[in-house]
Structure 1
Amino acid sequence: MKKLIAASAIALLIAGHAAASSINIAHSAAAPLALKVDGQAVLPQVPPFHSNGILYVPALALKEFYPIQLQWNNVLKQLTLTTGWDTKVLTPGSSSIQVRYTQTDGSYQDSLEATVILKAGHVYIPADSLNSLTGATTELESGGTRVVITPGSLSTTVRVPAEPLVVAGGHAKVKLYAALKDGNTYKGFILEVNGKKHSFDWTVDRDFSNPPQLFYADVDSDGKPEVTVVFTLGTGTSLVVQEVHVVKPEQWKELSVPAAEQAASAVVSSSISLDKKDVLLKLELKGATPSKVTIRIPDRAEDGLKYFGKTAGIGAVTYYSVKDGKLLADTSLMVGMTESMGTLKLEYKAGTAGLELGSIIFEPHDSTQQFVEK
């Protein structure tokens, strides 16, 4: 009898565990998905869901990262999406959308990847349609509990992305984030040093082929490392424009740094003249180690001063870097339209109000070294 009671108890216990397990599984399957935009959880009251194998996200999610207005017409049961360049009309129960330009005449009919759904007073759209609507990408994270939206090139998100734009080499705790993305422009950045963060209103183009550079070194020789940020503002034929920022993270104070072309122009003078068949370029560099350089360009006098000009140009191509605790800059010295004679190499040092030019030398190219007069 005791064996029968014990067996019955075990059977009930097993059945109880099985029942509880089924409830947990069912609850887990029905648990709402979480939504993240640019690394931050949003809109918990209107979670994404699956319907007929299609992942849906709330249309409200568009306002979290995109320059758009949403307007619901309760009579026509339609949702209008308005941007600065067009309007799109969505109708629940249909995948068709009517697109009308706002700045020019014209309209056309388009369609989403699946039908629009109206659920509990909120409009939901297929997650895959976010890319065609806004350029964003949508991903269901492994485990299937979170839907992640990553905005495209046009975004107004002011959140800190989960991943930094750049991490300083050898210093994993020094990071740079984009604070605001507006079209093809970064408007504002967040600098993180050893877990502490601060915002800066630097504005640069989003050049994916030339990402920001980040250095962490004591460039003003005060015994404490500074953060140096280098942005590439533009590139082209015989053109590279960079911008440098140096920050003391203890006070989040940005130090004054003269641009390389300005610092070089203040201490370098030049003259161009014709000498029979040749062109003479004379340079005089002032500063801690003054020097003079004469470059004789053979058989080019016929091009004349109208082409070469009377002085050399400085700064068409500029690169900044940090090496051995020094902020360095290389900026070009050119004649004519795009003929580079060599590089002015600058080294910065601590000054009264920030950094200032410490030394400068001229280094000819391999191709122009032969023209330098001894």
Structure 2
Amino acid sequence: MSLPTEFRDWAYLPPEIVGLISTKVKSIKDYVRFRAVCSSWCSASLPKLRHHPPQLPWLMLPYNPFKPGDSSWLVFYDFWAYKMHKFHIPLSNDTTCYASFLGWLLLVGSEGEEALLLNPITQARIQLPPFTDGVDKTFANSKLTFSANPTDPNCMITVFSKRSRLLFCCQVGDSCWTMYRLNDTTKLADVTYNNGLLYMLYEGDMNHMMIYASTKLVEKIVLEPKLRTATKCFLEGKSEVYVLALHPMKNIEIYQLDEQFLELRLISDTSNNTAIFYADNSPCLAVSTDDWDSLDGGSVYLDYNCSSYAWKSAVQSLYRIYCAQWGNSSIRRVVQDPSKKRRWPPEPAMWFQPSFF
């Protein structure tokens, strides 16, 4: 069989065919490469596709392993592709990334005098009011959440720092934050938005959930007594309100808020087609395994800032990622020390989920 003497130039595919092919590309990285093939492919595909499923998260490192001390670059480890991604940030070298949420990063200057949201994929920027009070080392690894896409002028933004016991709220375009300083008895565990309402999750003896519309309390829900000793957080990435509970014996449970009866109900079916990405002081993410062949149903990926060890007369630390299955106490290591660098004191990494929006 002889090969044809002429081959069709892929650059001249009909635009409607190119557009159809582009809708089949799931990964944002691959989509960016797709549009970079040639000018005709770029013009035949949309700059941003709304069909993209929630992306597989990367682990954002708290330092630059390529040039220690240079904080003008953000470094992510993509352990699905076994490679690092580097992004230059638009602020000064004294900028710190305090939080990540749905593809956006909260970047704050050393004295809190400048703050913004940055999407490193699209380079979109949203200026925020300065943090005139409460920004110090304990403010690192805060929880960032918002009521809508932050490009919406009606979007409400909340930043919660568990270690400094501060809660900041503002609307996009505001000139200042509304700050709430929590006392020692107010054990706030996590915050999130759903359908415009702010949900606040408490731990310990204050074992309940509060729901607010703006600053007005709508409902208080008392949780089961057995959840008092569990580490609790909201599960982001689902359209309803879910709570992940990590019990002292490392048993993991997922609860869903029944909005009709206003109670948390233990569920099990979500684990069959869901992978969970958990890390301390970072959003707990849910990703559907139906969208990604590389994910196993019922998997939990845990980011551990590892136990320390002695190395050349100095205490060092490693970063590791473990994977566990629901109902199975054994765990397997996925990644150890992806940066090949060791630092002390240890700094927690965080999950970052790439997004076009």
TM-score bin (small chain): under 0.3
- Determine which structure has greater relative contact order: mean sequence separation of CA pairs < 8 Å that are 6+ residues apart, divided by chain length: 2
Bigger CA radius of gyration: 1
Could you tell me the TM-score, scaled by structure 1's length?
Answer: 0.20
Could you tell me the TM-score, scaled by structure 2's length?
Answer: 0.21
Name whichever structure is richer in helix by fraction. 1
Name whichever structure is richer in strand by fraction. 1
